[in-house]
Chain A
């Protein structure tokens, strides 16, 4: 399940590995796909001439022209609808929703339309849309630039839900999403675009030297449905996705307890086998996500884990999540799961 550094080392002679941040690796994925497949089109608010408010599509319009990479009206419902129509008519649209908080005008088009087209048409039609959207907190964005609405989509059959966390899986998963014949919602943790985030707003490193910042310039994929084992240990299983992978890593270090850290990467479908095998090994489990607790994807995982690992669990499964409140502005560090909260949760799982 892991794309460990060693495994990533197995590659063709001559493949150029370049150190990239997540913006660059996402840009590289889009560049590869635009180059290799004329049916790939990119559009969304500010993605064209300007190259996106986070710069992910920088330079792509200049390189591929205005009919491949273009700006759209400020109309998320319209963006999703035309993506639906293009996908149905043979293209492979990659649409951007500028912030995941603004995806809701498109919700009907995603949940009632894209998600059901293949099924409702008896397989006569399908639409392979990729919806890229920056999500999550940590940028002082208040409640409308910080939400992480993945569970609003994991509850909908017919779409796949991915959440990258580092430059390497960002590129590989995005290529998998674009090549996938099902609609995919692809969350990008905006806090991690330029560096991993360990939960300390006063110490924000870049991706330089990180184990997952070496990225092939060429096409490669990270398979949908596979988790990545980021750290290996035997006393607790910590599961996270997006920016929380790095915060969890810090929490594990602070706890001093030997943990498996599983980066889920793919939420629908998710890698239950990897999770269950780890929890059976450790007997303890902490699930971390920044979205609110109630009906968060952690609830689904927790239920599934107890179904499969009940007799292996030494203690209740812990969830460390955002609160069941709107996301705050000034006090966001008290909202987001912190290394301290994660560390404390890991310790609680060790109690007799």
Chain B
């Protein structure tokens, strides 16, 4: 019986309850999904009907012991595996450092990707460089894969004079056009149907570009989610629609986002091939994304993917999840930790060691510290220098209209 069915009924309607609260023991059902369970359909001919099992099962490559197997094994080179591991570690260490800076007042706000590092890293690595990335605030890791400098990312987070968005957005709301990484927007969900339009434009122009976008389980309750899936169903553009089901939208459990437990299956009645994938399995994420890209590039249209994971950290630096869920809940998540799992796999195939891992972490920590030191030479949010106040008035329109010009003059800066 699923959690949703266990809810207490009241007179006439049900208010869902989270599976466990502070002080209670976590009660995740153990997984009975194995890498051999699901076949890999032909991306060039696959229909939604061919994926009904995939939408209710779980695409995995790495088993609980870190052994890769099954049709979905992308058979990546050890070099690529190490690169993936390095980027994931880079993101985690970067996040840790930024969070500390937030706690000391150097940043106004921060959002970590803790426990979800594999998503942005593996999926971006599986795509081509020209492909469009339309992220939420939980996929900043894409930028490491696309080569953005860490200094530039920190400049944005601390809103200094070198911030490429000129101090206009909260931290983590990155824009990185050179990496085809589209500007992050706070109203969650809006990017999902926008990505369908981006993909339609690529297809119209004949560009060899696929668009990937992500949305959270919480935001999948917005109309935007349904606009996107429906427009993708109707127009069949080269788009990959990912629902990151990390169980929590701040304190709202995913059972408020949908009356059913399964998010992947919502793509099936729209006629879109739909998959549920282990979101902490780097190899499975890589493989499903490669598959969806091949399908999109061959003109077969969209793929809908639920990425099953757990938000290990707080929603943001302003959130304290121990107020609404057990503080150690993430330790019981059946999917484990994405970094540990890839590391275990690499060690098991003789391509990595604990010593190498410690060295890597040391190297990355130094990289982050050096980047931070360099970034603050351009100022920080607490002390400045900040972008000039005139940037309030510029780029509202292509050219400054008279009424905004007058207000700029009124400010006198």
Contacts and interface: CB of A to CB of B under 8 A. Distances in A.
A158 B168 CA distance: 14
Given A90-B201, A118-B396, A81 B165 contact: no
A126 interface: yes
A116 B183 CA distance: 11
Interface size band for B = 35 or more
Nearest to A84: B194
A124 B165 CA distance: 8
A160 interface: yes
B183 A181 contact: no
Given A77-B193, A78-B230, A81-B193, A119 B204 contact: no
Contacts of A109: 190, 193-194
Nearest to A181: B398
Interface residues of A, number: 45
B195 interface: yes
Interface string A108-138: 1100110011111111111000000000000
B224 interface: yes
B413 interface: no
Contacts of B396: 118-119, 157-158
Given A77-B223, A77-B227, A81-B224, A158 B402 contact: no
Nearest to B177: A124
B164 interface: yes
Interface string B168-195: 1100010111000011010100101111
Contacts of A158: 396-397
A54 B201 CA distance: 27
B183 A120 contact: yes
A151 B194 CA distance: 25
Interface string A284-308: 0000000000000000000000000
Contacts of B223: 77, 105
A117 B173 CA distance: 12
B334 interface: no
Contacts of B201: 85-86, 88-91
B186 to A, nearest CB: 8
A225 B401 contact: yes
A17 interface: no
B231 interface: yes
Nearest to B201: A89
Interface in B307-334: none
Contact of B177 (A81, A84, A125, A181): A125
A345 to B, nearest CB: 26
Contact of B197 (A81, A112, A157): A81
Contacts of B182: 88, 125
Given A89-B198, A120-B175, A81 B190 contact: yes
Given A82-B231, A122-B165, A269 B398 contact: no
A80 B224 CA distance: 11
B83 interface: no
Contact of B183 (A90, A108, A112, A125): A125
Contacts of A256: none
A78 B198 CA distance: 13
Contacts of B199: 85
Nearest to A269: B401
B200 interface: yes
B198 A86 contact: yes
Contacts of B163: 122
A13 B224 CA distance: 51
Given A78-B227, A120-B175, A83 B197 contact: yes
11 contacts: A72-B231, A81-B190, A81-B193, A82-B197, A85-B199, A89-B132, A90-B201, A112-B190, A119-B168, A122-B164, A124-B164
The 6 closest A-B pairs by CB, nearest first: A85-B197, A82-B197, A78-B227, A81-B193, A89-B201, A85-B198
Given A88-B198, A112-B187, 6 more contacts: A73-B230, A85-B200, A113-B190, A120-B165, A269-B401, A269-B402
